[in-house]
Amino acid sequence: MRRTFSFLYGAFIGSVIGAALGLLMAPAAGEDMRKQMKDRAKQMQLEGKNAAAARRAEMEKQLETLRAPRQ
């Protein structure tokens, strides 16, 4: 029981210290940071959609090749 309490206490203290350091060392103001994160999320979503579309086209081409009658 004591070991569990010590672990939870240490995790809590580490979280508080980490959050404080994160706030102190943040490279931009909160509003700017949120905008950057939102823009980056949109960019990553677009890249993911493009990659999925490219992979789908590649797989459809392979499927067409497999379905084509062999001669």
pLDDT in tens, 7-29: 988 999 999 998 888 877 877 77
Q: Note the pLDDT tens digit of each residue in 30-70.
A: 788 788 889 999 999 999 999 999 999 999 999 999 998 87
**Encoding tokens for residue 15?**
């979280």
Contacts 24+ apart (CB under 8 A), 6-10: none
Is the separation of the CB atoms in 36 and 28 below 8 Å?
Answer: yes
User: CA-to-CA distance for 66 and 71, rounded, in angstroms?
Assistant: 12
Question: Could you give the 3-state DSSP secondary structure of residue 45?
Answer: helix
Domain count, the chain: 1
Q: Note the pLDDT tens digit of each residue in 31-41.
A: 887 888 899 99
pTM of the model: 0.52
Q: Give the range of the structural domain holding residue 53, as residue numbers without chain letter.
A: 2-67
Choose among 21, 68, 38: nearest CA to 46.
Answer: 38
